[in-house]
Amino acid sequence: MLALLLRDLRLATRAGGGFGLSLAFFLIVTVLVPFGVGPEGGVLARIAPGILWVGALLACLLSLDRIFALDREDGSLDLLATAPIPLEGAVAAKALAHWLTTGLPLTLAAPILGVLLNLPTAGFGWLTLSLLVGTPALSVIGAFGAALTVGLKRGGLLLSLLVLPLYIPTLIFGAEAAKRGAEGLATATPLLMLAGITAGTAAILPFAAAAAIRVNLR
């Protein structure tokens, strides 16, 4: 599993692997928002947590189809399905690799981009914490969606339509935690809900994704 994780990390960081694409998209979204809503600092400060969370969520979508599609094309997925390691473990390793190359960089970049949206100083730490807790759920849910569509040609649009509704609870509680933190309010409830979603998806969805892959490989 460690070798699989390292392999996916190398593939993601190579040219065309999608590592920089998500960050570039996140930057573009953040830069365009002030042009759309105006440069007023109060308005930007109020919407900054939600905009940053939406930008991070959409940026995660860009690389979801790469989780299993490349392995299906070169035959590696068939080998993983018959390998001694559990397929559920391989799915978890691939979801972790996606988070390390997409979710974690977006989390680290969010406070820097928050300056462009006039995010209050009190909200930087809470925004980072909410993304750190919530983005693993985005990767695991994305891996499940990628497993459902791995056998389809050009299934990227269908993949987005499948996972976006599943992303909504994570988006709601993540943005709410960042917003409350920026306003100096209590953040325990949304953070606990966010952590519960991440823990639940990490415990259940690798098994569902492995079952979907087995069906698609028949």
- Look up residue 67 and give its DSSP letter: T
Q: pLDDT tier at 100 (50, 70, 90 boundaries)?
A: very high
Q: Is the dihedral of CA 160, 194, 114, 187 positive or negative?
A: positive
Q: How far apart are CA 144 and CA 28, in angstroms?
A: 27
Please state the separation of Cα 216 from the chain's center in Å.
Answer: 24
Token pair belonging to 161: 């339509």
Range of the domain at 59: 2-217
Helix extents (H) in 99-155:
104-114, 123-148
pLDDT at 79: 76
Note the residue count of the chain.
218
Place of tokens 């920026």: 182
How many CA within 13 A on the CB side of residue 195? 7
Using alpha carbons, select from 142, 133, 120, 121 the residue that is nearest to residue 173.
133
Q: Per the structure, how many domains does the chain have? A: 1
User: Residue 19: its pLDDT value, please?
Assistant: 67
Q: Say which residue, 212 or 11, is predicted with more confidence.
A: 212
Between the ranges 21-25, 28-32, 129-133, 181-185, where is the mean pLDDT highest? 129-133
Residue 84 confidence (pLDDT): 78
Helix/strand/coil (H/E/C) assignment for every residue in 150-198: CCCCCCHHHHHHHHHHHHHHHHHHHHHHHHHHHHCCCCHHHHHHHHHHH
> Rounded to whole angstroms, how far apart are CA atoms 217 and 14?
28
In percent, how much of the chain has pLDDT > 90? 55
**Tell me, what's the pLDDT at 157?**
79
**Tokens linked to 88:** 């559920």
Burial class (CB within 10 angstroms; exposed 0-12, middle 13-18, buried 19+) of 89: middle
pLDDT at 49: 94
Span 19-66, pLDDT tens digits: 688 889 999 999 998 888 888 878 898 999 999 999 999 999 888 888
- Check: CB of residue 92 under 8 Å from CB of residue 210: no
Taking residues 132-156, report their average pLDDT. Answer: 88
